[in-house]
Structure 1
Amino acid sequence: MALDAPLVAVLVSAFAMTAIVGVRYLLTSGLFAWITARVRPGHYKGLDRQIRSEIAWSLASAAIYGIPSGVVAWGWREHGWTRIYTDVHDQPLWWLPVSVLVYLLLHDTWFYWTHRWMHRPRVFRIAHAVHHASRPPTAWAAMSFHPTEALTGAVVIPALVLLVPIHVGALGIVLTIMTVMGITNHMGWEMFPRALVHSPLGRWLITASHHQRHHESYRCNYGLYFRHWDHLCGTDAGLSQAFSRP
């Protein structure tokens, strides 16, 4: 029995987005792994088996991220479901940068609280232990999630574009920041200057120095982009002392 055209279009969109997410992961994580090999030769020595596991879990996560994104992308193109707009004049120009910040703050809030929830012992064993099996994390670990954890992350951007207006270019910036920070926070070394990391601004931003402490101590430093929830909730344990920028 032949599938009807709309269903085929949805499936094609979901498959295409899955492929895009997977290829993006391989290219970006591969790039930062290559940079690590040049800047810190031997930094991932002996981690080949772990890296293979990280890549396998990450490619599975690509499908979990790609399917809802593909469905929403189809709904945007065919039915205008989302609040994504292409004409910069559809919203006030000041909203372009503000929308990026709003998306990051909302995503960060969702991540902080779901991340804390996944550190409850039973949930941790079921879902989050896969991510923490990376000891130490590498540039390949940014999407190394159990499907349950991947699902909590996969719904955020599709939900936001249904509710909060954003220009397609601003959305691209959000996705770029999400990808780059997800990878650089797991590289096992700090690529940003010490002057930034240890500055007053750095006290509110999450970089590898901050997230590494989470992988060392588990019950602290739960944020994704910003440290305000960790500060407010008393879960900020500061920076890891295990490494520094060369």
Structure 2
Amino acid sequence: MNGVLVSAWAMTVIVAVRYLATSGLFAWLTARVRPGHYAGLDRQIRSEIGWSLATAAIYGVPAGVVAWGWQERGWTRIYTDPHALPLWWMPVSLLLYLFIHDTWFYWTHRWMHRPAVFRRIHAIHHASRPPTAWAAMNFHPVEAAVVSLLIPALVFAIPIHVAVLGLVLLVMTVMGVTNHMGWEMFPRALVHSRAGNWLITASHHHRHHEQYRCNYGLYFRFWDRLCGTDKGLSAP
């Protein structure tokens, strides 16, 4: 039991430090590239950081339990030998995890925009007006649990190399922050390219924070386009 608790505590600290480092880096970049962009938002940013640090525990505890179970009990399908499965499985598993996560996020996100659920849960996230680099994990505890439990569950079902899992978490973290910065950091040539038409960046997600009932995806625009909820790009 002590091992599980230590692992859960350690993972909570790791998630919190990862959040502070990543959001801090992009907030610093915003101050350099767009001076004054977050002017007057000090109170909002303090609230975003407070909720996000609480979210770190909700992310960290199940992740810590899973990490302990993988190392001590062999519970999961995480593997370390790159040759344990065909090498082509590594990029396939990356895309599969991202697609499943994006699907889960899209449909739970749409559910959170039902009026009663929005008022009780999701309104905390939308209190960020406009969102900042600190808002990526600014969630009510129920939303944090819904968002956080999928990846730990997937490692029990779908084999993934530990380095690829780290890449999934890196993509999740960076896109979560950059999509909320309130301005587009990626070049226009990418955002408006054929590939960019299927990827979500700040220009796409900012419109969600402007209009609420559209642009629900996390990584890809697939479900938004398929379901008619893609309302194009904003100009943050």
Matches for 1:157-236 after TM superposition, within 5 Å: 157-236=151-230
Matches for 1:1-246 after TM superposition, within 5 Å: 7-241=1-235, 243=236
Q: Please identify runs of 4+ aligned residues in structure 1 that moved more than 2 A.
A: none
- Paired residue type of 2:162: V
Q: Please provide the CA RMSD for this pair.
A: 0.5
- Paired residue type of 1:26: L
* Unpaired runs of at least 5, structure 2: none
Q: Distance in 2 between matches of 1:135 and 1:25?
A: 20
Give the alignment's TM-score, normalised by structure 2. Answer: 0.99
What displacement does 1:182 show?
0.1
SS class of match (1:88)? coil
What displacement does 1:200 show?
1.2
What displacement does 1:9 show?
0.7
What displacement does 1:33 show?
0.2
Give the alignment's TM-score, normalised by structure 1. Answer: 0.95
- Paired residue type of 2:229: T
Q: Distance in 2 between matches of 1:53 and 1:13?
A: 27
Instruction: Tell me the matched-pair count.
Output: 236
1:180-216 per-residue CA deviation (whole Å, 9 max, x = no partner) reads 0000000000000100101111110000000000000
Q: Percent sequence identity over matched residues?
A: 77
* Unpaired runs of at least 5, structure 1: 1-6
Q: Distance in 1 between matches of 2:148 and 2:175?
A: 16
- Tell me the equivalent position of 1:3: none
Q: Distance in 2 between matches of 1:16 and 1:154?
A: 16
